[in-house]
């Protein structure tokens, strides 16, 4: 992998991690187009896990104040000797819901780890999931009432958000796409669904990223470590810009452009695979 390849993959990861179009799908497609499909699986796993930590660092910095407030409220209510304010109780509940909502994706990821990393990595699977879940996102965006704010999040809805995130273990579904679709169907505003999607992803992505990197980084040689570091920095910078731009856009725009993108990429993939111009 050359520094150029690393920069391109870092840009792709940063652009697609937070948009509901599936970063895993686009990174895998980019690898094929760059001729990197021959990279051994251990190196590829370590590379992808690490650049995901770059984009997640962007979430930590962007939502730093929210995260600190939620953590303080969470532990404050655990050890409080006096009655807490309504805001503190609400933030503490949000902290609990992020923990509870992270359980499904962790459990499913561990149980089906082999299938996720092997059989489901086929570009055929990715093509169909891009289309199917793109249509689901479009339906959710059209019929969702978009009246609820993140402050109105209930325990039941928090669990349903978590189940939506768990679908993202299937390449092509999209972590943000799954949770945002659930949020829209439950009546949350576009911004609320997106914000909670980003917060909910923090524990799962950081835990899986460090786990995968710790168990596979030894497979990277010195040049691959440099390429991984470059891609991680690039994904962080691009990812932070995407968070800022997406949340501003959602104050007035819809998810339909992402729906059209998903379906278009899925259809193009099917054509390329059917004509043997891409290998699954």
**Cα–Cα distance measured from residue 191 to residue 194, given in angstroms and rounded to the nearest whole number:** 5
Phi/psi of residue 64, nearest 5 degrees: -55, -45
Which residues, including other chains, have CB under 8 Å from residue 136's CB and lie 6 or more apart? 181
Single pTM value for the model? 0.89
Domain boundaries along the sequence of the chain: 3-274
**pLDDT score at 138:** 96
Q: Give the up-direction half-sphere exposure of residue 268: CA atoms within 13 A in the CB hemisphere.
A: 8
**pLDDT score at 278:** 77
**pLDDT score at 164:** 92
* Nearest C-alpha neighbor of 70 from the set 199, 179, 175, 180: 199
Q: DSSP string spanning 85-123?
A: PHHHHHHHHHHHHHHHHHHHHHHHHHHTHHHHHTGGG-H
Q: Are 18 and 176 in contact (CB under 8 A)?
A: yes
Average per-residue pLDDT for the chain: 88
**pLDDT score at 41:** 66
Which long-range contacts link 136-140 to residues 24+ away (Cβ below 8 Å)?
136/181, 137/20, 137/177, 137/180, 137/181, 137/184, 137/255, 137/258, 137/259, 137/262, 138/255, 138/256, 138/259, 140/180, 140/181, 140/182, 140/184, 140/185
**pLDDT score at 45:** 67
Q: Give the up-direction half-sphere exposure of residue 77: CA atoms within 13 A in the CB hemisphere.
A: 18
pLDDT digits (tens, 9 = 90+) for 203-229: 888 887 788 777 777 777 777 788 888
- Regions of the chain short of the pLDDT cut 70: 38, 40-43, 45, 81-82, 116-119, 280
pLDDT digits (tens, 9 = 90+) for 66-107: 999 999 988 888 777 667 788 888 889 999 999 998 888 888
**pLDDT score at 280:** 67
- Report the run of H or E that residue 141 belongs to, with start and end: helix 123-143
**pLDDT score at 81:** 65
β-strand partners of 188: 148
Phi/psi of residue 173, nearest 5 degrees: -75, -50
Q: Classify residue 226 as exposed, middle or buried by CB count within 10 Å of its CB (0-12, 13-18, 19+).
A: middle
């Amino acid at each position: 992998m050359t520094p150029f390849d690393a920069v391109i993959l870092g840009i792709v990861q940063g652009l697609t991690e937070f948009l509901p179009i599936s970063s895993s799908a686009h990174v895998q497609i980019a690898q094929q187009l760059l001729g990197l499909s021959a990279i051994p699986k251990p190196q590829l796993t370590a590379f992808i896990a690490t650049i995901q930590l770059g984009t997640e660092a962007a979430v930590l910095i962007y939502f730093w104040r929210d995260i600190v407030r939620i953590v303080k409220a969470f532990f404050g209510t655990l050890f409080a000797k006096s009655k807490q304010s309504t805001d503190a109780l609400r933030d503490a509940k949000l902290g609990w819901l992020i923990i509870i909502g992270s359980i499904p994706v962790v459990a499913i990821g561990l149980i089906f780890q082999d299938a996720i990393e092997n059989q489901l990595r086929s570009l055929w699977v990715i093509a169909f999931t891009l289309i199917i879940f793109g249509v689901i996102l479009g339906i959710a965006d059209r019929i969702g009432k978009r009246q609820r704010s993140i402050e109105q999040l209930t325990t039941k809805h928090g669990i349903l958000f978590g189940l939506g995130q768990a679908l993202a273990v299937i390449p092509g579904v999209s972590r943000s796409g799954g949770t945002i679709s659930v949020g829209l169907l439950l009546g949350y505003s576009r911004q609320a669904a997106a914000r909670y999607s980003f917060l909910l992803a923090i524990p799962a992505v950081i835990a899986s990223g460090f786990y995968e990197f710790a168990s596979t980084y030894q497979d990277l040689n010195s040049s691959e470590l440099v390429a991984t570091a470059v891609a991680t920095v690039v994904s962080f910078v691009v990812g932070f810009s995407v968070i800022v731009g997406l949340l501003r856009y959602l104050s007035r725009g819809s998810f339909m452009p992402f729906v059209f993108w998903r379906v278009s990429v899925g259809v193009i993939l099917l054509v390329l695979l059917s004509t043997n111009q891409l290998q699954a």
